[in-house]
Amino acid sequence: MKILIAPDSFKGSLSSKEVCSAIKKGINRVSKYNFDIIEVPIADGGEGTVESFIIAVGGKIVDVNVTGPLGHTVKAYYGILNDGTAIIEMAAAAGLYLVPNELRNPLKTTTYGVGELIKSALDHGCRKFIIGIGGSATNDGGAGMAQALGVKLIDKNGNEINFGGEHLNKVEKIDLSGIDRRIYESEFIVASDVNNPLCGVNGASYIFGPQKGATTEMIKILDDNLIHYAEVIKNAIGKDLSKIPGAGAAGGLGFGLMAFLNATIKPGIEVIIEVARLEDKVKDCDIVMTGEGNTDYQTAFGKAPSGIVKLAHKYNKPVIILSGGLGFNYKKLYDIGTTALFSIVDKPMTLEEAMENAYELIADRSEDLIRTLLALK
C-alpha cells in the first residue's frame, strides 16, 4: 500500500514535518504490512513554508540577520531550492511571533526585513522567488520592504517616511530611481491563502488588524493611511492594484509586492502542489492523508488541506483529513471530495492537553485508521 502523507501544521503545536512524522509512526505500528510512505509537509504561505519546500524538493537554508518588525535586528532565514529558486517566509522577518503581546502595534511595525531577505537572495544569484506571506505583524502596505530594496517614499518636505503604517499618510511621492535593478530580471510569486483587498471593511486593517494589536481607533487610521498610500502608488505606476484579491494579505504586503516587484499572487497550496510535483505523487498512491490543527467549513475555501482533497478527488483517490478538532459545519469538506474526517482527540480534554499531546494522539489515530482500512480490504 502506497500512502501519501501531506498535512499542514497543527499551529501552535506541531510543524507539518512533525505531523508527517507522527502519522508515519502510527502507520508503521501495523508492522506486519509493508507500506510505501511518501511524506510531503505542506504550508499555505505562513510559518513552515520554507521547510515544506526544502523537504519536498531539496535545497538549503540560508541564515541572515535582518531588521525585525519592531526595527531591531532579528535572526531570520530563507531557502534556496536546488534549481536556484528562493523561498521566503515573510514571517521569518516580520512575523507576529517576533513581537511580544504587550508590544503589538501595527502602527509601528515594518516589513523592512522582508526586503532585506529578498536582497540577500538576489545577492546569492536567485532570480525566481516564492514568497509566503502568512503570519505577519505588520500593516505597512509593504512600504518597509520597498524601502529596503531602494524605493524612496518621500514626504512633502522631501524626506523619507519612517517605518510603520502610521506614516503612510505622509507619502507624497514615490521615487523608483534607486530600486535594485535586479528585480526587473526576476520573477516573484506570492503564496497566500488570503483574498482580501487592501482597503475597506474587508481589507487588511479591519480584518487582520485586531489580531496584530490594533484598537478600533488604530484600524481607522491604518485603513485611511493605506487608502492614501494606494492612491499615491497608483499615480506613480499607472495601475490601481488595491482591489486585487490578496492585496490585503500580510497587512498589505501583497499589494506592495505587486506594485514594486510586479509579483503574481497565487493560493499557497497551488504553489506547493506545482513545485513539489504533488499531482504525480497523488496519481501514484493508494491513499492520501492530510490534516490541520482545526477543520471547519472555512477549510473548504482555499486552505491547504482543501487543495490536497481536490487533487486526490481528481484522481479518485481516497483522502482522509486528520485534525486536532472538527469545528462548525466541517462536513462541508465532504462536498469537495473528502472521504472521511477524524479528530485526533480520544477523550474529553482541554485544548492545552490536546496540543501538548498532539504527536502521540496523531500517531494513535493514524494506527487506528490504517487498521480499519486494512480490515475492510
Q: Is residue 119 a contact partner of residue 66, using CB atoms and an 8 Å limit?
A: no
Q: Is the pTM of this model over 0.85?
A: yes
Q: Which of 269, 288, 270, 276 is nearest to 54 (CA)?
A: 276
**Where in the chain are the domains?**
2-39+285-376, 49-269
Backbone CA torsion sign across 115, 192, 49, 102: positive
Name which CATH class applies to 2-39+285-376: alpha beta
Q: Average pLDDT of the chain? A: 95
Output the CA–CA distances (angstroms, integers) from residue 203 to 110, 194, 224, 227, 248, in the order listed. 18, 10, 11, 10, 6
- Superfamily, domain 49-269: Glycerate kinase, domain 2 (3.90.1510.10)
Q: What is the dihedral of CA 201, 207, 209, 212, to 10 degrees?
A: 180
Cell 535586479 locates to 182
The SS3 of residue 50 is helix
- Give the N- to C-terminal CA distance of the chain in Å, as an integer: 11
Residue 147 C-alpha cell reads as: 524601502
pLDDT at 32 over 90: no
Cell 480534554 locates to 349
pLDDT at 62 over 80: yes
Q: What is the mean pLDDT of residues 327-340?
A: 95
Cell 480584518 locates to 207
Distance CA 48, CA 54 (A): 10
Q: What is the mean pLDDT of residues 234-261?
A: 96
Residue type, 17: K
Q: What pLDDT does residue 376 have? A: 81
pLDDT at 194 over 90: no
Distance CA 347, CA 103 (A): 38
Which residues are paired to 5 by β-bridges? 39, 289
Distance CA 226, CA 205 (A): 9
pLDDT tier, 193 (very low <50, low <70, confident <90, very high otherwise)? confident
pLDDT tens sequence across 300-314? 887 889 999 999 999
Output the CA–CA distances (angstroms, integers) from residue 335 to 177, 338, 341, in the order listed. 51, 7, 12
